[in-house]
Amino acid sequence: MSSHGTKVLWAPWRMSYITKGSVEGCIFCKAAVGIDEDNYVILRSGRALAMLNVFPYNTAHVMIAPVRHVARPEFLDAEEALEIFSALSRVIRAIDEEYGPQGYNIGVNVGRVAGAGVESHIHVHVVPRWLGDTNFMTAISGAKVMPEDLRVTYSRLKKRLGLQP
């Protein structure tokens, strides 16, 4: 308790994200040519990649994107679409085995008005859900408590996918 009677929640691992500032350019294009660990890329194929969301809605929130910079689903070629959905299947199996969620929110936001944070590069959100994962912190205070360090999530999923970090 603080001197004002307020409970303090410590999340020191978040400081690295707060102090990073905004990323210049497209995060998916950067991840496509960057170092997996630096970009939290857990899986890649020739035409698609899967990476942890560094501002997750829940633990193990993954985004899957084509390697090619393309904004909308109708601009994907058949091979890209196949690799994205193949990665989606692998990611879901890995999260199921490692975390045992009871459900998922899976979706694509096309355009700013639809909620796209990165409008110019299409990506699929994979958000694991557990009964009770929304509690008073989220509902009343507008804060979300993440129970696991992103680096731990990265290591767990890379191992589960058979790709040692």
**Catalytic residue annotation:** 123
Q: DSSP 3-state assignment of 42?
A: strand
Query: Partners of 125 in the beta sheet?
Result: 63, 107
Amino acid making up residue 59: T
Query: Partners of 119 in the beta sheet?
Result: none
Asked whether 159 and 153 are in contact (CB, 8 A), the reply is no
Token pair belonging to 68: 């090619």
Query: Partners of 43 in the beta sheet?
Result: 50
How far CA 25 is from CA of 66, 119, 165, in Å, comes to 16, 12, 25
